[in-house]
């Protein structure tokens, strides 16, 4: 990948840095994870951010993982980081009664409720991106000026952090056959990063 566009300057929730750092620690060990983290963000494993962070730092970490380890490994790491972020949201942001009820609802209704919850908490992940959510089966989530792939170029979609987060939420809130996938990516030259989310196929 190579830089092709200006980076965003807003702020984003810290989980993209926290969960990516912890995933790198578990995959590569604390020393390697610390070097990559401090070189790209100035944070360390012992002082991970607890408040909103600059999008440029989150972007720099994602870029460093891709440039250092290549596309397959980087995509796997970022997807795992996203799944861990989904676990965090389930533990701290989404009420337990909703988690119990949603899998019992008719699929169309559950999708609408889940989409509303994602819209409500978009400030935690979208940053300065323009978020558009489109009801349907599956639902569509679109990010224009995506903060995580800004300035990067790839031959395939690379916003696996978001796909991992949305997929984990879909599995927990729609049932075990819940899924999400990125179908368009600005890093690939598409107009926006677009994700589909649903249950079943």
Q: Is 76 exposed, middle or buried (0-12, 13-18, 19+ CB in 10 A)?
A: middle
Is the pLDDT at 26 greater than 50? The verdict is yes
CA–CA dist 180, 195 (Å, integer): 7
Which tens digits make up the pLDDT trace of 115-163? Answer: 888 887 787 788 889 999 998 889 999 999 999 999 999 999 999 999 9
Which tens digits make up the pLDDT trace of 30-65? Answer: 999 999 999 999 999 999 999 999 999 999 999 999
Between residues 77 and 101, the one the model is more confident about = 77
Is the pLDDT at 6 greater than 50? The verdict is no
Give 197's strand partners.
139, 180
CA–CA dist 3, 66 (Å, integer): 12
Q: Which domains does the chain show, CATH number per domain?
A: 11-199 (3.90.1520.10)
Full strand arrangement of the beta sheet holding 139-144 = 130-134, 139-144, 193-199, 178-184
Check if the beta carbon of residue 142 is closer than 8 Å to that of residue 132: yes
Closest listed residue to residue 107, CA positions, set 174, 44, 197: 174
3-class secondary structure, 136: coil
Is the pLDDT at 167 greater than 60? The verdict is yes
In degrees and rounded to multiples of 5, residue 128 shows phi and psi of -85, 0
pLDDT score, position 5: 40
Average pLDDT, the chain: 91
Is the pLDDT at 86 greater than 80? The verdict is yes
Q: Tell me what the mean pLDDT of segment 98-104 comes to.
A: 88
Q: Tell me what the mean pLDDT of segment 181-192 comes to.
A: 98
**pTM summary value:** 0.91
């Amino acid at each position: 990948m190579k830089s092709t566009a200006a980076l965003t300057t807003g702020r984003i929730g810290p989980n993209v840095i926290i969960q990516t750092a912890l995933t790198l620690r578990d995959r590569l060990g604390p020393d390697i994870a610390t070097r990559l983290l401090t070189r790209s963000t100035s944070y360390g494993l012992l002082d991970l951010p607890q408040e909103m962070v600059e999008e440029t730092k989150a972007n720099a970490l994602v870029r460093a993982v891709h440039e250092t380890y290549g596309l397959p490994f980087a995509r796997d790491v970022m997807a795992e980081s996203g799944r861990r972020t989904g676990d965090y949201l389930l533990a701290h942001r989404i009420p337990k009664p909703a988690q119990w009820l949603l899998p019992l609802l008719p699929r169309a209704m559950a999708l609408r409720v889940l989409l509303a919850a994602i819209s409500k908490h978009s400030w935690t992940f979208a940053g300065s991106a323009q978020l558009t959510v489109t009801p349907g089966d599956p639902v569509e989530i679109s990010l224009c000026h995506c903060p995580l792939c800004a300035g990067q170029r790839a031959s395939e979609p690379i916003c696996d952090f978001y796909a991992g987060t949305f997929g984990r939420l879909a599995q927990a809130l729609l049932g075990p056959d819940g899924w999400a996938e990125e179908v368009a990516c600005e890093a690939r030259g598409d107009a926006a990063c677009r994700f589909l989310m649903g249950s079943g196929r």
